[in-house]
Structure 1
Amino acid sequence: MTGHSVGEYAALFAAGALSLADGLELTTSRGRLMRDHCKPGAMVAVALERQTSAELAASHPGLEPAVTNGEHSQVLAGPDAVVNRVCAVLDDRGIPYERLPVDRAFHTAAMEPMLDAFGDVLARTAFTPVRTRFISSLDGRTHEPGWTPGPGHFVRHARMPVRYDAALRSVAGERPDVLLEIGPHTTLSGLARRSLPTVRALPSLYRGTGLTALFGAAAALHCAGADVRWEPFLAGTAGRRVPLPGYRFQHRPYWVGDPPRPPNPCPRQERNAL
């Protein structure tokens, strides 16, 4: 189990390290403190290797690497004016980029003014051991069941760059058959497919398609051997489970052809038209 940036809070809740109430309190406090204590900034996703993006950031004072999603997927962050200048450079070089719809330079030094106050909030929070193996996107480290995150983990998580690439490498080491993204669209499953092309990565939701993706993901997990609880899927519907053969179909056609036409029992009588 892993999460991306603030999604790590949701993943830690699912892993048993946080109660729902504490998870909501931490994420809302984190956002409020970032708004109140941190200066406005901007973030831009760039199609560059990590080293190249770091060199680009070094040549623009105030710009920092904020996220590494994959081999050619980085996010840089800093003051809005600096990000504007680097976008102009990217335009000149023909390098694809996308401005992110945020107003702070998350996971950079710009977050430092809120860290002490956030640490006070964390000190009042009761953390419990994770129940399952957990991979942090802070550094890609794998934590075994029984590990308990402390306040220091979340402070570093708010300040340091996201290393989702390292988390995916650790995920690959688990040799998973299927990965399931719990989120509103396909962002993380798309990143996983690019980094782990041999692993099937499924979204649980796909924007604009209703529950189609969710049911498709559940079916794929069932076929992969997962023990899916179908009752919540069928609750309030007329749907029901039906048994199917457990063996693999051979895909051979057995359609019955058209029956032979019987001979004409009444031969046509020739008539004299005269």
Structure 2
Amino acid sequence: MKKAYVFPGQGAQFVGMGKDLYESSPLAKEMFDNANEILGFNITELMFSGTDEDLKQTKVTQPAIFLHSVILAKTLGDEFKPDMTAGHSLGEFSALVAAGALSFEDGLKLVYARALAMQKACEANPSTMAAILALPDEKVEEICKSIDDVVVPANYNCPGQIVISGTMNGIERACELMKEAGAKRALPLKVGGAFHSPLMESARVELSEAIESTSFSKPICLVYQNVTTVGESDPEVIKKNLIAQLTSPVKWTQSVQNMIADGATDFVELGPGSVLQGLISKIDKSVTVSGKQ
């Protein structure tokens, strides 16, 4: 019986996130207040009582989800005994901080640097993403390769659900071809840009400098990373994978399958929403999934 803690990525945010934590835990209050100082703006006000539009800004969304997830893990105290951790995209930073590979302060600074770099890349390269439902992974990959524009698989979320990233024209053409090939749905997403694709190269370069100059430690358990899908504990390998993550696909399906193969029977999602619980249940119905907000 092994317990895996998993951490959500962008899209899980909601107005009021983290407010209960702030009001019920002195430690949480201290960490949230500290975050406002580190970031130089009042993120807690936006999280607790902002608007959906406020929370949709990448520079707010990413640190907000990170804060909710990590502070939740820290308030569990001795109850938090992971055998392994993993996070979806942005959530990988939460997983690393929760597992002790990064300090809270450094993790927050990196997440904010990542958000700003991604925002900049989105503005420089207008691009988008689309969700493809009920088409085999191989078929999605084949169609992406057949398009002249940049179009790549970005998130392998669960069997039958892949998100693709690319140029506006490329994604439009890909959606037509996916439907022709039998996809149940091919839905363009309301996102700022083509995350986890070559169009994020400028953000990867910018973030790599911040990651290289940050101190990482050996985590208390294996952290299953999006790029390699296997448990990592070597700080240098972790850094390399984090840098590669921005332009590489999030292999969530494969990561969860590897965690289960390595003995995970109980998955707990920490942070806003319950998206990962749903995905894990679709990947393998035999495991237990639960969550805390």
Once the 2 structures are TM-superposed, how far is the Cα of residue 85 of structure 1 from its aligned partner?
2.6
Amino acid at match of 2:144: A
Kept after mapping to 2: 8 A contact 1:139/1:162 = no
What stretches of structure 1 of length at least 5 have no aligned partner?
A: 206-274
Tell whether 2:87 aligns with 1:3: yes
Cα deviation code 1:17-76 (max 9, x no counterpart): 111111111111111112223412111111221100011112222211111122211111
Structure with more contact order per residue of length (Cα contacts < 8 Å, sep ≥ 6): 2
Once the 2 structures are TM-superposed, how far is the Cα of residue 152 of structure 1 from its aligned partner?
2.1
Q: Supply the distance in 1 between the matched residues of 2:146 and 2:162 (Cα, whole angstroms).
A: 16
Tell whether 2:113 aligns with 1:29: yes
Q: SS where residue 257 of structure 2 aligns? A: helix
Kept after mapping to 1: 8 A contact 2:131/2:162 = yes
Give the equivalent residue in structure 2 for 1:43.
Answer: 129
Q: SS where residue 177 of structure 1 aligns? A: strand
Amino acid at match of 2:227: L
Q: SS where residue 58 of structure 1 aligns? A: helix
Residues 127 and 94 of structure 1: CA distance in aligned 2, closer, same or farther (over 3 Å) = closer
Kept after mapping to 2: 8 A contact 1:140/1:167 = yes
Cα deviation code 1:118-155 (max 9, x no counterpart): 222112211111011221122211125xx324542221
Larger Rg: 1
Q: Supply the distance in 1 between the matched residues of 2:223 and 2:243 (Cα, whole angstroms).
A: 18
Q: Supply the distance in 1 between the matched residues of 2:291 and 2:270 (Cα, whole angstroms).
A: 7
Give the equivalent residue in structure 2 for 1:13.
Answer: 97
Q: Supply the distance in 2 between the matched residues of 1:113 and 1:91 (Cα, whole angstroms).
A: 32
Q: Supply the distance in 1 between the matched residues of 2:259 and 2:144 (Cα, whole angstroms).
A: 29
Q: SS where residue 179 of structure 1 aligns? A: strand
Q: Supply the distance in 2 between the matched residues of 1:94 and 1:71 (Cα, whole angstroms).
A: 13
Once the 2 structures are TM-superposed, how far is the Cα of residue 94 of structure 1 from its aligned partner?
5.5
Amino acid at match of 1:59: S
Kept after mapping to 1: 8 A contact 2:121/2:199 = no
Tell whether 2:182 aligns with 1:182: no
Task: Compare the two structures and name the one with the higher helix fraction.
Answer: 2
Question: What is the percent sequence identity of the aligned residues?
Answer: 25
TM-score, with length taken from structure 1:
0.69
Kept after mapping to 2: 8 A contact 1:139/1:166 = no
Residues 24 and 84 of structure 1: CA distance in aligned 2, closer, same or farther (over 3 Å) = same
Q: Supply the distance in 2 between the matched residues of 1:66 and 1:142 (Cα, whole angstroms).
A: 20
TM-score, with length taken from structure 2:
0.65
Once the 2 structures are TM-superposed, how far is the Cα of residue 176 of structure 1 from its aligned partner?
2.8
Kept after mapping to 1: 8 A contact 2:157/2:253 = yes
Q: Supply the distance in 2 between the matched residues of 1:33 and 1:19 (Cα, whole angstroms).
A: 21
Once the 2 structures are TM-superposed, how far is the Cα of residue 91 of structure 1 from its aligned partner?
4.6
Q: Supply the distance in 1 between the matched residues of 2:178 and 2:136 (Cα, whole angstroms).
A: 14
Cα deviation code 1:168-198 (max 9, x no counterpart): 1111123333211112112111110011110
Give the equivalent residue in structure 1 for 2:170.
Answer: 82
